[in-house]
Chain A
């Protein structure tokens, strides 16, 4: 009996010391990589949203049959967005190297990967915003139009406002895709959790690093999704 207890405690303390050893070897790398992932996702998300909101709104407003239906503008936007979205992120990353160099001044590291991440996320988010806004009941817009409210206010204070729960859900999806995309950023030395898993876990056969990274990514995605759901449910009053 006492033998068993001793062996369990020694097992636990062995595990504890193993964890301690792992942390002292890799903790710094993991923390840094996690930080890099947050920076890449956060910064590119902000820029992507700034680009995507007007794009999404324009797609809805210029859609034929809508208030400012315009086949030319809508068609052009449509084709442009589809073109960018046709490219897998990894291709976009290399394809955009000259553009990235011109905008960021560098093509490596976290800074070097922001431009392709924005280029990847913005059209995607624009599409998500478009579909969220299209869900809004036309009748509500009509009610506001009938009161003589300006077109700009209709978009930002009625359409966007009423679409908030759906917009939050869309952004949650986009954020998770971005986390996935940042993993590829390791290829241009962008850093982040994906890069860590690739460089140490895969190239240098450090399996434990691979597992921990995978675990962290899973936790991160779960947290983002749960947070998004929570906020969306809070705003939605249906």
Chain B
């Protein structure tokens, strides 16, 4: 497990990590029935089993569905430093292994530049917070927009 290459603290511990320079979401997997969960949890939502292990989720998948957050969410809980709200896309990306992950979407030409079925890849982005700090947050971007294999780009 390595730190964020940009040196930013994560928005929360235990959500994602870096392995060989590539970001991965951290999930858990039930040792009894194999069901994955994200974020990681200490029991299985399918079989109630408590024998679970931490697992890194696949980095790529396809867009299952999406929408656009068109109005500024109330703050709190929204913690963005943005003074002028810009709509952003949110969706679920279906990963191998039977799980789809909810995420902000990034990297398309505009907030409505997404399509169901699009190949997507995990990226880590800086998220400036209203308290003046900047944290690292996860998002998924279209593979076609991808900047290369490392996925370590920092978007501004």
Chains A and B come from one and the same complex: no
Query: Residues of A at under 8 Å CB distance from B?
Result: none
Query: Residues of B at under 8 Å CB distance from A?
Result: none
